[in-house]
Structure 1
Amino acid sequence: MEKIKLEIAKIVGTPGSSSWAQIHTFTPEEKEKLNLRGELLAVIGLRSVEAGMETVALGREILSRLHEEYFGNLEGGALPRLKSSLEKIHEEWPEVEIVSGVLFSSTKAESLGARVLYLAILGKGRVVVKRDNLLNQVLKGSAEDKIETASGLVYPGDIFLLGTESFFEIVSPGVLRASLNLSEPQAMVEAIAPLVLSRTDLNQAAAVINLLVKEKEEEIAFEETEKLPEGEAPAGKISIKDRFANLGQKIFLSKFRPRFGQIRLGKKEPSFYVKNEKEKGNRLIFSVAVILIILFLSSLFLGFNKRKQAEKENRIREYYSRAEILYNQAKEAVDLDNEAAVNYLKEAEGLLAEAKKIKPGQFEDLDHLFQEINNLAVKAGREKDLGELPVFFDLQLIVPEAKADGIALLPEKIAALNKEKNSVYFVDLEKKSTITVTDEKLKSSEVIFSSAKEVFVLTAQGLWQIDYENKKVNSVFGSDQDLQNIIGGATFAGNFYFLDQERKNIWQYGKTETGFSGPKRWAAEDAFEGKSLISFAVDGSIWVFSDKGIEKFIRGQSDNFSLKGIKPEKIAGFNLFFSGETNNYLYFVNSSEKKVLLFSKDGQLKAQYLWQGKLDQPRFLAVSAEDKKVYFGQDNLIFTFPVASLE
């Protein structure tokens, strides 16, 4: 019988005067504690410790407190208890970082040959799992001191690593992947340790590598029988070897001795002779022996082949079961944590692909689960890697040192504002021909935006319409109010709206018979209090994007809108936003991660895009609903990529 055991190897940075790291592993000897609390793994890091405090002593105190909080009370579930333990430690020691895991046995998991793993992270550490040559991040800590948790099954052969933020700063994904491909945890540690120990500026780097392996139980030894000398059979018995030798000798003599005995010198013998009955019997015995040997070898071959097929089918079933569990976990997570759901689905697809390699062909169950995973991946907004985005246009082809300080779209053209040169450049989307409109009226420009047919520029003196056909700048309205620090403009139903970052407000200029009234405060005075405004869009409702996330306002009041499939704190890390009256989607861009998310206006995640290359800090975003393309502005370059039809 086989048991599952855990092989552990540790990497810890050298303690410093103000930082420290340690790894704590504990398996309770009491059966009740083991059943209710499992085996504890914890990676602990301390940084920015106050002067005069002994880091090692403080670290030991934290370890003791963790142990007391987690194992001291056996009421309630293990994962909630682990989370509450980290929360209490954070209240007392805000500078501590903990990446923790608990390993359990359960009847269901054991039936699948697996163990249950609970995870909880305080700080910015991570947990990665290597399974079947696939290395995936399964949990990442939060930047806002929130306890992140996860759970799942781990199988023999899985390697899971718990590490602090500093560890992952030092060890690149490529080095980590190569090291985890080594055969034993200790060898993995020896490959990584020199990198960690060489960084004395990151003393709080630490990680624990865990490998699940099957361990055979000791088998009962039976007393061996006395060995006989080679070739010697037991007394009174004839060995199989001797039986075949005697049989061959008899056959040879019975077949060939009569012939040799008939040869006589100088005398011609008859050309035929009659075989006797004894010779016929010997020949029959030989034939039967050969047939029996052939049947025996055939049965061995068929049995071996059947056993191999059974092993393959068992492996396929194991891969299928694990993939099905991941698929079910993804279904539960898709509306709560899209990133986790996508990771589950990727891992499940990898397992099914490995299963198909074992025995190529059509498998109804595998194919059905593949289809279910694909359908759920579409709902989860499967990531699409765009590679390096092409440059649509270089503004310096028009004017040396030209750059984009904002972009806006018309059905057939893209407009780029250049504040320093008091100019707007129009580029034809198909022919890439250009028109430049330059005017002193555009001095002190704030923002550029567009309606379905016109482009507008807001300056400190008022709003201007840019007539590119006649190369004119026409006044829409002047303003006595200081319109500086405006970060966005939009128009809807003849009215104009401006997002004011400094005064935390949206100003409305309403259409009248004689011109425009305003400015009028559109939102309540405290609507955006405590928020750093980023961008907005108007389509009847007003969408406001800030460092706290996206909000939908109707008649000046928040509509309690929320995005599905992504945590609010994650979308708050994005820095560009776009939508509008003619666009059915909300677009969010995270420049540092080079990622674009598309949501429908009811909050459903529809697509995710990743890009590579030199577009690393896009400053402006616009989307053409007509040709379904996204445009980025960065310095003098405009980049683009098409989005798939999602209707």
Structure 2
Amino acid sequence: MNTGLGLSFWRVVNEEGSNGWAQIYARIPFDDKELMNKGALFGVIFDENTDNWAERDAEQMAWVEEYFNKLEFAGDLGDFGKRWEEKFPNLNGVWVWISYTEGRREMRIAGWGIVKVVLTRNQQEYNFTERLFPGKVVKGIVLSGDKMVILAGKVKEEIFGRSSAAIEEDVRRWNRELVEENVAAAGLVLNFNELLEHEIKNVEIDEYTEQNNKVTEVNDKKPVLDLAEDKLVGPIGWKEKLINKWLEFRPVKQKGLAERGMLPKRKRWSMFLGVLFLLFLLVSIITGSIKMKATAEQKKWQGFSEPIEKNVLEANGLVAINSSGAKKLIEDARSAFDEGKDQFVFGKYSKEVLNLEKMINDGWAEASGEKESQIEEILNIDLVRQGFKGNRLGLQNNNQLLILDTTMGVVATAEVKTKDIKVVAGKGEGLGWLDAVGDGNKVMVLSNDGIRNAVSGVDLTKFDSAVAKPVALGSFGGNLYVLDQGNKEIYKYVAVGESFGNRTRWLKQDQSMSYEPVDMAIDSDVWIAYRKGEVEKFRRGYREQFSLSGLPADIQVKRAAVETDGKRLALLDSSHGWVVICSKETGICSQVLKSDRLTEATDVEFDGQGNLMVLVGGTVGVMK
């Protein structure tokens, strides 16, 4: 993967092994400005304690995300390391912070425990391993052509000794070797290439200054000759003389004739211009108000949408490195979206809300492995007997399926290759058959009363009052296993000739189930599934360290199946129309197969070739 810092890197990792678990972390901002301000943070982690490691891994990655996101500029690796040790003590790991400062790239390194750090420059190696102590940060300048290798965990010297000269094909081979040897380790090979700097062109805005702010007032009013005086003329008497004297004492204000004639027209123009100005002012105020409102709404939308988009983009880049961390980012984005979407749904940004929701859904589909699945029908069991739908599906051998219809009390076998379907038992109507298993020529069915040979009708064992609520029947090594939901127990019945011995408690004295079980699947181990998605693994009566991660939050498990010779575990949730595929080795759930037809499904099973079979609506199909 290449970054804006002129940096590419390769991963060497096996998340879980016999020696512990390991993980890689790479935090590279997608935004160029954020990348230049904060830099990029890389880490490798190794821990010998595998208890609930997937949950602890997700918690650690979420903590690092939160720390990094709060920064505005490149952080203090010393502060980061101190907080990391306080939060997650007794871990082995290396953290490297690459930043861009004053036109050059800088690196800061901190490490704890079983780690190795080597820098190769001009074909000469510099080993930083012995210089790394808790609380100490090693700082240096990065040059083009440098290569750095960081590693947490123990691996063969052949891998680490040649890693500084590694090519991509070597890295692929080392990853395969770690998996084959069941060794957990995490490493990064950082290649520093030429840094291509982008010239940022600023748009200069010249400030305009008036050269002369003085405004000269021009009075173009011309003097007008007043052709009339406030004086009575002509033949006058004493009355007129008194009026003239009064006018001399208090003259009347005179106005020119031209001014008197122009006043009404100017007044009309002034009023018109005043009204026009008010209209322009009103339009300007309304327009400005609308623009301010739109700007405020835009800022509000950006404040809501940009963090969500950032989370989704970062999750897409994190899927290949840390699927649990990617799912956590998408879940955070969905929570933020659900909390704030109502304020935009019916407004200007209604289309953008739909696009953002689609972006989240697409991101979740990539991170969680969700995909629409097709069910290819291979057997139509309804043709054997009208109304025969089937409730339980089992595997007798690599090619033969066993199908039980609990309502009709009918058991049939089906050959996948030849599509040959035969009814082997059909007199169980009203007998309360719950589950069935096949062993050679025998077909055994489970009921509340005991276990019976469905072909001969002979009771193989009768339950005593200690068996409260049997729900599932399994077979391994010729012996039978009954899952008792009422007592949260597994009872074993050992084969004795053509019959079976007395009931024995299979779980050891100090062992018990954590919840009320819903189904059981058996390979060489016994897998117990619970309603809310928990799965426990038992071996020789003891619970093994195992837990699932990456399940849909509201899953409701109905049935479970495991590959006998493979690595997959399948959980059927018919209420949502899902089949979730998980790893039996790591517990990571990487796929959610979705189909509307799965809401009618009653059971799932893997055949001998690893095909996932599903029993739905009177047919047996293969999930594609």
What range is the shorter-chain TM-score in? 0.3 to 0.5
Q: Normalized against structure 1, the TM-score is what?
A: 0.40
The structure whose Rg is larger is 2
